[in-house]
Amino acid sequence: MRTLVAIPVYNEQRYVVPVMHRVLEHAENVLVIDDGSTDATPCLLPNFPVEVIRHRKNHGYGRSMLDAFRWAAMDNYDWVVTIDCDEQHEPEAIPTFLEVAESGEFDVISGSRYMDNSDDADIPPADRRRINMTITEMLNERFGLRITDAFCGFKAYRVDAMRKLELDVPGYAFPMQFWVQAVANNLRITEIPVRLIYNDPSRTFGGPLNDHEIRLKHYMDVFDREIERCRDRLPTGAGAG
């Protein structure tokens, strides 16, 4: 089973060196997608045995994910594991994702920060937790899913399954499009617990999306548009708002 670990980065000079060291302890094939960093991140990456895609300017989280999927498909990987570069995901969990992947039972293995919280778990910013809960409950109700964390970026994807999707959302609303298309294409989804870590609650989305009401509306607009696009392939009743 050939696996690629893909790491989207944007201005991560504070974290990139320790994260690269930790990831490389658990992964042989690593792709970093630098989404137009303006700090020292691009200068630090050549110190590691990783492949790098460099965006001339910042396009958004979703664009980095699309690049990761395309690279994995082009290079004939079986699975791609995505992990963030802000030390809020633990690379030590990568083998757990791969163990579940090797079972052959699933197409998407999604990390959940809310399945098995320990007493030492960090507390996420209230607006992020509230939006996550709102979206997660909506996805479960509309699609009959049983997920607990709609926005965790720590995931493993079967590359052949991802070839079925037509993803094109470049920004933070990427998960809204992904979940709709995953259901429309009958992908087999499971969750595994990952540790809830928030090193820097002050980090922002940038621009208007820093307003949680605007952010939620943006997510819902993308979701509604994708529902309409995939309506004929969704379960009966899933398109009802």
Ranges of each domain in the chain: 3-233
Q: Which of these, 98, 72, 74, 75, lies nearest to 155 by C-alpha position?
A: 98
Phi, psi of 98 (to 5 degrees): -70, -35
161-174: per-residue pLDDT in tens? 999 999 999 999 99
- The amino acid at residue 99 is E
195-213: per-residue pLDDT in tens? 988 666 666 677 887 888 9
Is residue 223 pLDDT above 80, yes or no? yes
Please report which confidence band the pLDDT of residue 159 belongs to, taking 50, 70 and 90 as the band edges.
very high
Is residue 120 pLDDT above 60, yes or no? no
Q: What is the 3-state secondary structure (H, E, C) of the chain?
A: CCEEEEEEECCCCCCHHHHHHHHHCCCCCEEEEECCCCCCHHHHHHHCCCEEEECCCCCCHHHHHHHHHHHHHHCCCCEEEECCCCCCCCHHHHHHHHHHHCCCCCCEEEEECCCCCCCCCCCCCHHHHHHHHHHHHHHHHHHCCCCCCCCCCCEEEEHHHHCCCCCCCCCCCHHHHHHHHHHHCCCCEEEEECCCCCCCCCCCCCHHHHCHHHHHHHHHHHHHHHHHHHHHHCCCCCCCC
What is the predicted pLDDT for the residue at 196?
Answer: 87
d(CA 154, CA 19): 14
Mean pLDDT of 20-47: 98
Superfamily of domain 3-233: Spore Coat Polysaccharide Biosynthesis Protein SpsA; Chain A (3.90.550.10)
Is residue 124 pLDDT above 60, yes or no? yes
Mean pLDDT of 202-227: 88
Who wins on pLDDT, 238 or 204? 238
